[in-house]
């Protein structure tokens, strides 16, 4: 379990050159081209411009936001007017689930989701359950995959909404969204997809894949923190009930002054994601596979998640005889995660890994490595050596202690 740090122990300076960043699933570095696109809206009169204002600089800000909507829409084959700006994927998920469920409540109050979803989905479903909705949470197999047959069997006459993530944030396992979307279309069920980990790494097409509500986050694809989007497929879902009320911006779906610099940054990040889609995932997958191959010189390690149905950037490994938190402390110059960044402060082992059948010991010894656009082959080799060395040392320390007990 992480210990709280005093203010004096927390460095606010950038990490030194020894740090190797392999936590891209938690957050990605802002791309220099994104920073450049944001800059005009962070200084001078551009920083003051309100996209709701009617004067010239306000109209310029509004035009920049429209252009950003076009860039996001281009990544997922949507229309620009289907993009709703939010503060991030968590808000997008809340707006999608709460908003769609409430709008559809007269038609039905049954929702289907999966046990390995992000807490933003599961906790929102808990809230809907408290409001009188019926929620079915489906299990996964030992590889982390959801059975399509089980999904079909869970649908009821009053099912109005399903929420299934595209790529799992802890294991990288890819759900078959194409098949799930087809099932939802056939049964008249709206489909929400959390695409925070897949955007810019896998092709996304809300039309072809039958996705009605799609949640995105800028800081998962080399954009700034604090901004995200909900894509609302108007061919299938006319509206969601808003969570916020105010000046009526964004057709009242999510009112409030748009943060022009963040919106522009996310738009640029999505355009870059589309541009890199044909080459970057293969490069990242090759580096991930090299890392896994290098780690296999250790005995007693386990790959968590389906080996042949994973996104390019995530590698989740359990190391027997080693506690994951202890390993992270031993790897002070390697930025990795003992679990999802939003849940790793808890003392409980990963619920996602336990749902795959991992024991508490296996789940507690797991480390998530995640690679990205700026990861180099040299960094992978250096990281491999550091992990092998740290695991070996920790096991050497642990063995005499185990014999004493």
Q: Which distant-in-sequence residues (6+ apart) come within 8 Å of 292 by Cβ?
A: 303, 315, 317
- Catalytic-role residue among 184, 231, 270, 342: 342
What is the spatial distance between Cα 108 and Cα 134, in angstroms, rounded to a whole number? Answer: 10
CA distances from 110 to 96, 100, 103, 276, 299 (A): 15, 12, 13, 39, 46
Return phi, psi of residue 352, to 5°.
-65, -50
Total number of residues shown for the chain: 405
Q: Are 304 and 168 in contact (CB under 8 A)?
A: no
**Beta partners for residue 187, in sequence order:** none
Pair 202, 174: CB distance under 8 Å: yes
Quick check: is 342 catalytic? yes
Edge-to-edge strands of the sheet including 83-86? 83-86, 228-232, 213-217, 190-194, 159-163, 110-114, 134-138
- Helix axes of 89-103 and 119-130: crossing angle, nearest 10 degrees: 30
Burial of 278 (0-12, 13-18, 19+ CB in 10 A): exposed
User: What are the residue numbers of the active site?
Assistant: 342
């Amino acid at each position: 379990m992480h210990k709280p740090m005093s203010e004096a122990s927390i460095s606010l300076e950038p990490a030194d050159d020894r740090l190797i960043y392999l936590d891209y699933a938690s957050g990605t570095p802002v791309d220099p081209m994104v920073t450049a696109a944001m800059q005009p809206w962070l200084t001078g009169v551009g920083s003051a411009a309100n996209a709701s204002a009617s004067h010239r600089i306000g109209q310029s800000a509004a035009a920049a936001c429209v252009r950003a909507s076009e860039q996001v829409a281009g990544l997922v084959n949507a229309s620009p007017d289907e993009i709703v700006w939010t503060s991030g994927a968590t808000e997008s998920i809340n707006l999608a689930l709460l908003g769609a469920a409430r709008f559809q409540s007269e038609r039905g109050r049954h929702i289907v989701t999966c046990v390995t979803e992000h807490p933003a989905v599961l906790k929102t479903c808990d809230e809907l359950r408290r409001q009188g909705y019926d929620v079915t949470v489906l299990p996964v197999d030992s590889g982390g995959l959801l059975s399509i047959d089980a999904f079909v069997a869970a649908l009821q006459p009053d099912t109005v909404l399903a929420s299934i993530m595209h790529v799992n944030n802890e294991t990288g396992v890819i759900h078959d969204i194409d098949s799930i979307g087809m099932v939802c279309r056939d049964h008249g069920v709206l489909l929400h997809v959390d695409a925070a980990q897949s955007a810019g790494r896998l092709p996304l097409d809300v039309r072809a894949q039958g996705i009605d509500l799609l949640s995105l986050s800028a800081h998962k694809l080399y954009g700034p923190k604090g901004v995200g989007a909900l894509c609302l497929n108007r061919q299938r879902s006319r509206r969601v009930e808003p969570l916020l009320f105010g000046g009526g911006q964004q057709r009242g779906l999510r009112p409030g002054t748009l943060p022009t610099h963040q919106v522009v940054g996310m738009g640029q990040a999505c355009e870059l994601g589309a541009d890199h889609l044909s080459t970057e995932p293969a490069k990242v997958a090759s580096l991930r596979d090299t890392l896994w191959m290098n780690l296999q010189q250790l005995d007693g390690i386990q790959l968590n998640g389906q080996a042949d149905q994973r996104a390019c950037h995530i590698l989740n490994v359990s190391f027997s005889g080693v506690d994951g938190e202890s390993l992270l402390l031993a790897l002070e110059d390697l930025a990795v995660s003992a679990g999802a960044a939003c849940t790793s402060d808890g003392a409980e082992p990963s619920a996602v890994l336990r749902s795959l059948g991992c024991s508490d010991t296996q789940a507690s010894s797991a480390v998530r490595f995640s690679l990205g656009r700026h990861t180099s082959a040299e960094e992978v080799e250096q990281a491999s050596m550091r992990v092998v060395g740290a695991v070996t040392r920790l096991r050497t320390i642990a063995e005499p202690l185990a014999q004493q007990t």
